[in-house]
Amino acid sequence: MPLRSLIRNDTTIIAPNASLRRIINRHTKDSLLNTIRKWLQDPIARPKIEDTSEDEENLDITDNEQQIQRLLHRYEKISSKKNMVDKIFLEDWKNGLNYKQVAQLDMKYYRDHSSLKHWKALKLCWENGLKKKEYRKTSEFNSSLLAQISPFFKTHLYTEEFEKNWWIRISIHDGVPPNVLPVSTNIIYVIYFTNSEHLLCSNIKREHKEFIMQGLLKTFVCNEIEECDLKGKYVDSLEKLLLHRQSQGTYSRYRLNQVDDNPLSFPSKKPKKDDIPENIDEFEDMMDEDDNLLLKERDTAVNDNFGPNEQPSLDTLEIKLSTPLHTSTNDQSTSISMTVLFEGTNVIEGIKKMIMAGIAEPPLPAYLADIHSNGKNYIEVDENNVVIKKGH
Q: Residue 52: pLDDT above 80?
A: no
pLDDT band at 182 (very low <50, low <70, confident <90, very high): very high
- Using one digit for the tens of pLDDT, what is the confidence trace for 212-229? 999 999 999 999 999 999
Report how far residue 96's alpha carbon sits from residue 105's, in angstroms, rounded to the nearest whole number.
13
Q: Determine the pLDDT at residue 266.
A: 46
pLDDT band at 56 (very low <50, low <70, confident <90, very high): very low
Q: Determine the pLDDT at residue 254.
A: 41
CA distances from 119 to 187, 235, 239, 335 (A): 14, 8, 11, 33
Q: Residue 276: pLDDT above 80?
A: no
Report how far residue 236's alpha carbon sits from residue 146's, in angstroms, rounded to the nearest whole number.
27
Q: What angle do CA 62, 63, 67 make, to 5 degrees?
A: 115
Higher pLDDT, 329 or 159: 159
pLDDT band at 4 (very low <50, low <70, confident <90, very high): very low
**Span 80-109, mean pLDDT?**
98
Among 106-115, 170-179, 261-270, 349-358, the minimum mean pLDDT is found in 261-270
Q: Are 51 and 59 in contact (CB under 8 A)?
A: yes
Among 3.10.350.10, 1.10.10.10, 3.10.20.720, 3.30.420.40, what is the CATH number of 277-381?
Answer: 3.10.20.720
Report how far residue 228's alpha carbon sits from residue 378's, in angstroms, rounded to the nearest whole number.
9
The CA-based dihedral angle spanning residues 47, 52, 56, 60, taken in that order and rounded to the nearest 10 degrees: -80
Nearest to 119 by CA among 311, 314, 312, 249: 314
Task: Domain 115-243: give its CATH architecture.
Answer: 2-Layer Sandwich (3.30)
- Using one digit for the tens of pLDDT, what is the confidence trace for 26-35? 999 999 999 9
**Span 315-327, mean pLDDT?**
80
Q: Residue 241: pLDDT above 70?
A: yes
Nearest to 115 by CA among 256, 241, 259, 232: 232
Among 84-93, 119-128, 240-249, 333-342, the minimum mean pLDDT is found in 240-249
Q: Where are the domains of the chain?
A: 3-49+60-112, 115-243, 277-381
Nearest to 145 by CA among 84, 188, 96: 188
Burial class (CB in 10 A: 0-12, 13-18, 19+), 350: middle
Q: Determine the pLDDT at residue 286.
A: 55
Neighbours of 200 (CB within 10 A): 25
pTM for the full model?
0.80
Cis bond upstream, residue 363 (ω within 30): yes
Long-range contacts of 33-40 (CB under 8 A, 24+ apart): 33/75, 33/76, 33/84, 34/108, 35/104, 35/105, 35/108, 36/72, 36/75, 36/88, 37/72, 38/104, 39/101, 39/104, 40/68, 40/71, 40/72
- Using one digit for the tens of pLDDT, what is the confidence trace for 362-375? 888 888 888 888 88
Higher pLDDT, 328 or 3: 328
Q: Residue 283: pLDDT above 60?
A: no
Nearest to 242 by CA among 198, 305, 189: 198
Q: Do domains 115-243 and 277-381 have the same CATH topology?
A: no
